[in-house]
Structure 1
């Protein structure tokens, strides 16, 4: 259990740091428009960015080794280490396994019984909860690892065949390793507080239906929030490791994946990467739901910039730099101070408050118009899965009045997948993004239930691909 005094001290430090930084930014920036000096695509820093580096010195960063998944310059290696989440104190999360290249994706590396603590967080009877550590793959294809928790109900599966498994991709949306659902389930109720761990009650519902539940830490070992390749790899390798469990309990189980918002990035990526990364799972993954999904990172980055969603954007940029460390070479001194501050260990509740002043991402960069730069275009391309065909039937839902994530993106995804022959369903839900989580849950969970029971997936794709999927059939 985390010491309350230590938590309070960290919280005060974080608040003080954020106040100091944001006040300094306002004094330097004046009006936000000043950050947009220069021509789009320019690589030289703007006048404002030059003044920031003149006034704020670079933080002292000790030398460090390159990450095991990349070969960086000494300067970038040191900065990359400095922006990582601090260790949790639990070796199963902290320790990088040796000789990962000698194992295969999905191989079990370590296992621990966490039933007693996991049961505190799940409002349903729990038979057993196992923390799993397994071989996975980084965003760039290097050997990596993942963690997940497998929860089973206390009763035998009453139907023929093996017990189905629901993969509950929670919206982690965090930078700190202590913010993962598996850490919370391994360390108890007070180790972390996140309402999305229990609402909507996906895991409890699945256990009550007799299903097993796999809860993946889909941001990977570097906590790379928003990186779709990492998320898809971790979930697919989690399915692999569960299917290979001793006694073959889940060898022939059906699996389905559900996720919303940050969790939707993970569920969507699982469906899009299955054919190329885990083709042996074709037919094993019987359905995927994705709600409130970001389908175009370029559009979202510009939409979030310079308003009260800018905190989310800055957190995602920092998180992305952990898997794509070349981003770090474009951080100015101010951004380096922020990235190496206690923010690097923050959970999702910090994302929103960080954007309260609506500061543009330009104040954190050493090049003008960073969202239009070559490095931004490269990252957008690496994280774009829109050219893929889902390897599983889809249930796509989106809040009709979502203020930040465009409704049209979800509708376009539906049209694209229909045109590629994927059995798909599209639902427009009332409300904005947060309300859509609640209003969309009943339909999504009923669809997943039917897939896990073995019912064929419905196909509501229009006969004419250009037809409006929201209109009555």
Structure 2
């Protein structure tokens, strides 16, 4: 029996292809990021400080509503996994009403989209320009209108980083964490907001990988930021474990994209793949990296591939020295890491399905155990039944309830690892958090896979 994620991603792939035929590939002033000079790397990038603004431009947003005053993109300085300077992009949403905390501080949500692909044309910033023709627009605008619409209604600013960066380094959490945090810095500067501004983060799946690394890096890399809460669901804390679960299955394209993404962040891994990729593998890798191959196509067109067969000699290339070294830096499991994994003290909410077919449940639970042993503040929900995508839908009310309480300063304290009550769709509590329209939209998404708000 085909799973809902496979059917949804297949539908997204066909719909994206139809959209590409029906809509011009570039709205005026916003061409494909592959050729758009706004995404280019300045020759003097090293002269900028982390988070410093390089350029800005206004956009017409897919999140248009009475709660949105304006939207725009910021190009800013960050650094990649090798700590080399890069220019990255974030999309900023400014609320019409600006809510202040009891201490007089503004609030900002950093929303990490699950880009899950390895081409710049799938960048969230392009997908969130109205009528851009982005091949990622459908997938990028599934849960995003729910979460970001909620944030704007609350009076929170929003930053949506292109967390894979200019090299599209999918699943390199170190790279992504830097970009998320520097994107927040740039957004705060642009809006004239204090570093005391309350920062929350949201991410699911590939977006949660970026979010969990940003959370982990924040106390050292961006210690000036006031992080009050981080919500993470279906979180890949170990690229190695996730690759093994995906490889050869219906969503094996995500494993291949992950290998390509890690290689783009680690030159030694790239050199190994370039040297050992065989004739069978070259068109697969080229296809994954081709313009317009976004998450729907990655899953629908590159399923049931054993990526170890694309290397000569055929072998588990995660075990070769360059990959082992990179993966030991790109895991948040202390049992796999070559460094001391940080234990941030800000509150976190982590949810996962026991039966998640894409991202390993056991790895996520081990992460919680290791973090709690170090004194973390984590509360969680385990969904006993649910696929990866259905669990995202189920978890949104609880995730936003958590973030709302974090911004309001009403979370309270719990023992680390505490399983908290779910906020079920259709309940009075869910409607109170989301509003009736968003709650109904998520119920419909759970029922038939449609996400129309």
Which position in structure 2 is the counterpart of 1:258?
Answer: 202
Secondary structure of the structure 1 residue equivalent to 2:224 = helix
Is the contact made by 1:108 and 1:241 (CA closer than 8 Å) also made in structure 2?
Answer: yes
Secondary structure of the structure 1 residue equivalent to 2:68 = coil
1:451 aligns with 2:406: yes
Q: Identify the match of residue 364 of structure 1 among 306, 310, 333.
A: 310
- Structure 1 portions without partners, runs of 5+: 10-85, 463-468
Q: Identify the match of residue 80 of structure 2 among 125, 138, 155.
A: 138
1:130-175: per-residue Cα shift (whole Å, max 9, x none)? 2011100011111112110110122243665232101111111122
1:187-226 matched pairs, under 5 angstroms: 188=131, 190-192=133-135, 193-199=137-143, 201-226=146-171
Is the contact made by 2:121 and 2:134 (CA closer than 8 Å) also made in structure 1?
Answer: yes
Is the contact made by 2:81 and 2:174 (CA closer than 8 Å) also made in structure 1?
Answer: yes
1:235-314 matched pairs, under 5 angstroms: 235-245=180-190, 248-281=192-225, 284-314=226-256
Q: Identify the match of residue 401 of structure 1 among 352, 355, 360.
A: 355
Which position in structure 1 is the counterpart of 2:125?
Answer: 182
Is the contact made by 1:261 and 1:294 (CA closer than 8 Å) also made in structure 2?
Answer: yes
Which position in structure 1 is the counterpart of 2:377?
Answer: 423
Mapped partners of 1:400, 1:5: distance in 2: 35
Secondary structure of the structure 1 residue equivalent to 2:128 = helix
Mapped partners of 2:36, 2:398: distance in 1: 38
1:10-51: per-residue Cα shift (whole Å, max 9, x none)? xxxxxxxxxxxxxxxxxxxxxxxxxxxxxxxxxxxxxxxxxx
Q: TM-score, normalised by structure 1?
A: 0.74
Secondary structure of the structure 2 residue equivalent to 1:194 = helix
Is the contact made by 1:130 and 1:149 (CA closer than 8 Å) also made in structure 2?
Answer: yes
> Do the aligned partners of residues 335 and 87 (structure 1) sit closer, same or farther apart at CA in structure 2, a change above 3 Å counting?
farther
Which position in structure 1 is the counterpart of 2:38?
Answer: 92
Mapped partners of 1:296, 1:188: distance in 2: 36
Q: Identify the match of residue 373 of structure 1 among 312, 317, 320.
A: 320
1:112 aligns with 2:57: yes
**Backbone CA RMSD of aligned residues:** 2.6
Q: Identify the match of residue 413 of structure 1 among 367, 382, 404.
A: 367
Is the contact made by 2:107 and 2:199 (CA closer than 8 Å) also made in structure 1?
Answer: yes
Is the contact made by 1:288 and 1:394 (CA closer than 8 Å) also made in structure 2?
Answer: yes
Is the contact made by 1:169 and 1:216 (CA closer than 8 Å) also made in structure 2?
Answer: yes
> Do the aligned partners of residues 442 and 381 (structure 1) sit closer, same or farther apart at CA in structure 2, a change above 3 Å counting?
same
Mapped partners of 1:5, 1:400: distance in 2: 35
Mapped partners of 1:229, 1:457: distance in 2: 30
Is the contact made by 2:78 and 2:86 (CA closer than 8 Å) also made in structure 1?
Answer: yes
Q: Greater Rg, structure 1 or structure 2?
A: 1
Secondary structure of the structure 2 residue equivalent to 1:280 = coil
Q: TM-score, normalised by structure 2?
A: 0.77
1:205-224: per-residue Cα shift (whole Å, max 9, x none)? 11011111111111111111
Secondary structure of the structure 1 residue equivalent to 2:75 = strand
Secondary structure of the structure 2 residue equivalent to 1:183 = helix
1:336-358: per-residue Cα shift (whole Å, max 9, x none)? 333334743211111212343x2
Mapped partners of 2:45, 2:420: distance in 1: 50
- Structure 2 portions without partners, runs of 5+: 1-16, 23-31, 334-340, 422-453
1:392-443: per-residue Cα shift (whole Å, max 9, x none)? 2111100122123222222222222211111110111241211100111111
1:335 aligns with 2:281: yes
